[in-house]
Chains A and B, each alone.
Chain A
Amino acid sequence: ENVLTQSPGTLSLSPGERATLSCRASQSVSSNWLAWYQQKPGQAPRLLIYGASNRATGIPDRFSGSASGTDFTLSISRLEPEDFAVYYCEQYGGTPPTFGGGTKVEIK
């Protein structure tokens, strides 16, 4: 099983600041099979990024993703009030697909 480790666990930032979230895979995975999701309290996760760097339909361009080997990054260029949430990375390189433990982006 490919374990995804997300860091930091919590990120405390102010609106307008840049957020950088990391996700490291324990085994090699194609960047095509790496996705990011946003989850707000009481809601289902929402797809943000697929294929490591492709924004899903309707996702603002302040969200971007990148990959370098087994390290993946989600960046939010300028935090809006609605961006404070938990973010999960997910890999689908085989069975089972797995999720990281999440990074909570909270208001400082």
Chain B
Amino acid sequence: EPEVTQTPSHQVTQMGQEVILRCVPISNHLYFYWYRQILGQKVEFLVSFYNNEISEKSEIFDDQFSVERPDGSNFTLKIRSTKLEDSAMYFCASSEALVGREDEQYFGPGTRLTVT
């Protein structure tokens, strides 16, 4: 069964540093997403990406964040100048079609980001 992969599984960084979280979505999927989940809290939508541009973003996704699909396979989330409160699990997801319209999202295993 195809799956979404994410690297690294765990990233530790110091406050103020930049991190790049990487995802490889399922190959024939067209829609890509990033979510985060702070420990013990709900999954929060960050951004959706389609046709090489952001289609929607949440209030969380401010200028500190950016996404990119640098080649045909990877989908990255960059966090500039990390803060302590950025510590969370970050999930990448992809879907073949527009979610909510008779399709499902496939989630990756997540990257645990710890900012010290």
A is bound by B: no
